[in-house]
Structure 1
Amino acid sequence: MREHRLEVFIDLQDPYSYLLLQALVEFRPHYFSHLKLAFHFYPVNCQDSEAFPELALWKANAFDDASYFVERYGFDFPANKPMRSDGELRCAQAALFKAENSLTACLAVFRHFWHEGAELDSGSLNCDSLLDERLDTNNHYLNRRGHYMGGMLYYAGEWYWGVDRLVHLERRLIKLKGLNLQTLFDKSDLAFKGFKERKTKVCEHLPPLTLYFSIRSPYSHLGLEQAVRMSEHYGVKLVVKPVLPMVMRGLSVSSKKKLYIFHDTKREALKRGIRYGFVADPLGKGVEHCYALFDYACRQGREVEYLLAYSRAVNTQGINSKSLSGLKKIVQMAGLDWQDAQTELSSEDWRDWAKRNLEELYELGLWGVPSFSYKTCQVWGQDRLFRIEDEILEDIKRVEQT
């Protein structure tokens, strides 16, 4: 039987790495009798500023987000974020290298670090320079492979992040071997549950769903498509608040990150039945066109239809939104009048509200798009809308019981 090599890059301080190891404990026996799986573990400690433009906010969100996944899958996870000294961290990192390619041993180190914190047996890696050398070697290997963060699994040319991308690997393996198996890690899809009765009355009591959106973000495209579906299904009003893309705010995005996002968006789109892939990057003039006409679309009561048309145009139809001919097509696709719309192109008012929207996003403790806010629930990522759906379903249940 041919060996299937799975490379797992784990960061001791990363909650997604911790959950991924726990998921692999269940994953391995499910597929092991059909496939010879060989896990190779690489401890890393990557924190590239291009990959994590707001590292403190990312870490805070990651802990909260991981806590929610614990409820879905029944993983172990501390109630409060552990506070560890540098000595405890380095000792545990050294213990990870001692664990070598044992999933059980690696998970034991993570559990000890996240739940207990006492020093572990670090074996021969007591020397700081030797530990740094080993970590740097793995960081460089991760970089050469084409990625930039921990909590990642690499198999035969494709990357899988954390627990919520494992389902893509499962489907790939099932198709590869023609296996009659059910996937294990598919609990983050939207349910779109129906109403029992009194739908109109229920909808009147539901607060709005707010989407923070960038026209250049591939994940925002997926987020908008799903938010529109959710809005229509549950009768929740959708409010979209556009912000400037990262690059137009002076932040850089590495080529590795852009490439990963493109490929990940394609498979996430396929999974969710959303078109994506024929892209015409609107960076610069295309973004300015989009936002300059947003107020006009709002006055016509068609702001969501307008952004959806624009997003589909630049993400699925390859329409050049930087040209007036391309922009005209998009405006007409949204059911708007081009003669009226083009008189708004010189407006610069959008720069003020785009800035306010970004400031509001930061006030929520978030920084990236797409992000969603519903009552007191704020989440980052198109793949986290299921958390919002849970809140909506709770509200529907409460209203129906009154």
Structure 2
Amino acid sequence: MPLAKLLQPRLASLLTSPRTRKSLRQLQETKRRLGAQPHVVSVWLRADDPYSYLLVQILPRFVAHFDVVLQVHIINRHEEATTPAPVELAAYARRDAVLLARRQALDFPDQAAAPDITDTDLATRLLLAHAKQPPAIFLPLARQALAALWRGYHKKLSTLASRFLPMTAATAAVQLESNLQRLQALGHYQPAMLHYGGEWYWGIDRLPYLAERLQELGIARMAHDFVLNDAPLPGEKGLVPHQFLISEPADL
């Protein structure tokens, strides 16, 4: 057996060990302090992604709990090579979102179909235009826009767009490409992703792990822990096949 292949499992184990992770986190924190930088959490959202809509509903509580700067990036696609069977995957994501929404008492329509393409474009440009607003302004707007999109409320979405002007199509195309390239440069491709201190956290399912990390850094504004509901609801198994649920940390 080649030496490289023999060492590969040991190297993988070393890179993913708690000790290595702790050392890397300490290095990231040292760099942040030396640069006198705030605790920046970057989030990538996509209007027609179910997990992004769920995340938008949780983020107000998250940013109220921790002393962080939230940077929002909007995307509208990812590379085809990273998404086998996109139609089927999107359908599974919608069914999974129903389950997660019920568990966390969030909004997601039980029988949601793929959002209208024209409405998706409008919602995307609306989010793009206001992504740099403070979270107290952007997140409520994003929640209203995505609720209208996912529930097919065309008139409500149009009303929002008339009050809070969307980005023009030409400007949006440039910004979307820039955001996607930035996401890929950091080593990812999916929406509903949060990035902090060199690590990725996917959607509301991984948000408690980021919260735990921030809690350890002592930047919580509140005495209690940031927690989400982990308990399955009665009859939950019948909603979504287990293989389509967001996997456990050990499976990633």
Aligned to 1:117: 154
1:181 to 219, 224, 227: 224
1:378 to 207, 217, 241: 241
Between the aligned residues of both structures, percent identity stands at 25
Partners of 1:44 and 1:165 in 2: how far apart? 20
1:19 to 44, 50, 54: 54
Aligned to 2:17: none
Give the counterpart letter for 2:79 in structure 1: D
Give, in angstroms, the shift of residue 25 of structure 1. 1.7
Give the unaligned 5+ runs of structure 2.
1-35, 133-137
Partners of 1:17 and 1:42 in 2: how far apart? 11
Higher fraction of helix: 2
Give, in angstroms, the shift of residue 176 of structure 1. 1.3
Aligned to 2:101: 70
> In the superposition, relative to structure 1, how do residues 186 and 134 fare at CA in structure 2: closer, same or farther (>3 Å)?
same
Question: Per-residue displacement from partner, 1:216-270 (whole Å, max 9, x unpaired)?
Answer: xxxxxxxxxxxxxxxxxxxxxxxxxxxxxxxxxxxxxxxxxxxxxxxxxxxxxxx
Aligned to 1:103: 139
Question: SS at 1:77's partner residue?
Answer: coil
Aligned to 1:313: none
Give the unaligned 5+ runs of structure 1.
192-373, 386-402
Aligned to 1:170: 211
Q: Which stretches of structure 1, 4 residues or longer, exceed 6 Å deviation after superposition?
A: none
Question: SS at 2:44's partner residue?
Answer: strand
Partners of 2:185 and 2:91 in 1: how far apart? 28
Partners of 1:46 and 1:85 in 2: how far apart? 15
Query: Which structure carries more relative contact order (alpha carbon 8 Å, separation 6+)?
Result: 2
Contact 1:27/1:184, CA 8 A, preserved across alignment = no
1:51 to 82, 86, 95: 82
Aligned to 1:240: none
Alignment of 1:75-86 (within 5 A): 75-82=106-113, 84-86=115-117
Give, in angstroms, the shift of residue 132 of structure 1. 1.4
Count of residue pairs the alignment pairs up = 197
Give, in angstroms, the shift of residue 109 of structure 1. 1.9
Give the counterpart letter for 2:172 in structure 1: L
Give, in angstroms, the shift of residue 170 of structure 1. 0.9
Measured on the aligned residues, the alpha-carbon RMSD in Å equals 2.7
Give, in angstroms, the shift of residue 145 of structure 1. 1.4
Contact 1:167/1:186, CA 8 A, preserved across alignment = no
Partners of 2:219 and 2:243 in 1: how far apart? 35
Give, in angstroms, the shift of residue 160 of structure 1. 0.7
Aligned to 1:156: 197
> In the superposition, relative to structure 1, how do residues 378 and 4 fare at CA in structure 2: closer, same or farther (>3 Å)?
same
Question: Per-residue displacement from partner, 1:360-381 (whole Å, max 9, x unpaired)?
Answer: xxxxxxxxxxxxxx78852225
> In the superposition, relative to structure 1, how do residues 11 and 178 fare at CA in structure 2: closer, same or farther (>3 Å)?
closer
Question: Per-residue displacement from partner, 1:58-85 (whole Å, max 9, x unpaired)?
Answer: 1011000010011111001122224544
Partners of 1:160 and 1:98 in 2: how far apart? 25
Give, in angstroms, the shift of residue 23 of structure 1. 1.0
> In the superposition, relative to structure 1, how do residues 178 and 376 fare at CA in structure 2: closer, same or farther (>3 Å)?
closer
Aligned to 2:123: 92
Partners of 2:229 and 2:197 in 1: how far apart? 21
Contact 2:126/2:166, CA 8 A, preserved across alignment = no
Aligned to 2:45: 10
Partners of 1:144 and 1:381 in 2: how far apart? 28
